[in-house]
Amino acid sequence: MLKITNVKTILTAPGGIDLVVVKVETNHDGLYGLGCATFTQRIFAVAAAINDYIKPFLLGKDPRRIEDLWQSAIVSGYWRNGPVINNAVSAMDMALWDIKGKMANMPVYELLGGKCRDGIPLYRHCDGGDAIAAEDNIRAAIEEGYQYVRCQMGMYGGAGTEDLKLINTHYDKAKNIHPKRSPRNKTSGIYFDPDAYARSIPKFFEHLRNKIGFDVEFIHDIHERVQPISALQMAKSLEEYRLFYLEDPVAPENVDFLNIMRQQTSTPIAMGELFVHLAEYKQLITQHLIDFIRCHISMIGGITPAKKLAALCELHGVRTAWHGPGDISPVGVVANMHIDLSISNFGIQEYTPMNDELREVFSGCPAIEQGYAYLNVKPGLGIDIDEQKAKKFPVAGGLPSWTNARTPDGTAARP
């Protein structure tokens, strides 16, 4: 009888970002699966959830029962969902799909229904300290073959640096704006002016369209960093620049405002990066309030729930745009792409280039050609990890500064 004999948690940071990968081993010689459980900001909490709860839950069970194991694991703690437990369950789920594919001698995308496309269109981050720098980065990406780019000035949602200088809010480099910080605020870190940011973006895209034209698709991420009314004003002012989509215009607690946005703007909306429960997406999808689903697959529990979410989106004309930042392991990257290949309502895939160290530790990473990703045809997820090489890149486990931004008066701002 096939059964799970061991669950190993591997912490590594070959790309300079803390990653969590799980290896599920079986009693069949050489048969194991890999899964991604990367929640960078809380890696040790996820590791503890895997080692203390998911591992004892899995030992001795049949790895072929993916649906049953997912359903029972997600309720095994009674209170279900949340980024820590979902990432732990995700690692299990991806590893089980990897095992299933290896047993069937097929790539996972074949088990999910087979290919719907040959290559996976990607979008790259082409950010810059000002509009001219962003323009230069966009042109470089176009030279590499990319036709979809995310355009930002500065950090997520806009601008901010450690020395408190707000990044340019106009394409004219001479017009730097410095937030008038509260003189009694001695807190160090990143500062952000939501109003200056919101005013800067229409001029930013005016510059980009005037210089680059309309033959490349632009994406912009608000990252929930402004009030809902400011997001609506931005969406309306950006209509003439025809974005591919405007991402996360409101915070999760303000999603009801999307009803108002939908009635007043034709700018396509992407939402859901911070969601951790499938029910959070349901109303937005079924009421046609969004155009793209932004989803970090390990945060909702892996391939099994993501495939179901994609099917719900298909029925309502919503396309996928899975989250693909640097804080996702190559195992998570290829899991995204196996779903991308097998669904008809694929929209776009975010992609963060992998350095040589990542590709050295993780063999079988996707090939990138002219703005498209191509998976190999190996059974399972088609990716492996060199555990000895992974040990050369220890994790830091610290708190990222970008999640602790503040407004000029010292108020904590959304990251």
CA distance 33 to 306: 18
Task: Note the Cα 52 to chain centre separation in Å.
Answer: 27
The residue among 334, 313, 344 whose CA lies nearest residue 385 is 334
As given in the structure block, the two tokens for residue 238 are 């950006």
Which member of 223, 296, 323, 338 is catalytic?
223
| Catalytic annotation, pick one of 156, 191, 281, 351 | 156
At 246, the amino acid letter reads L
The amino acid present at 235, given as its one-letter code, is A
Q: Which residues pair with 121 in a beta bridge?
A: 372
Q: How many other CB atoms sit within 10 Å of the CB of residue 21? A: 27
Which residue carries 């989509």 as its tokens? 245
Cβ contact 376:382 at 8 Å: yes
| 156 included as an active-site residue | yes
Q: So which residues are the catalytic ones? A: 156, 223
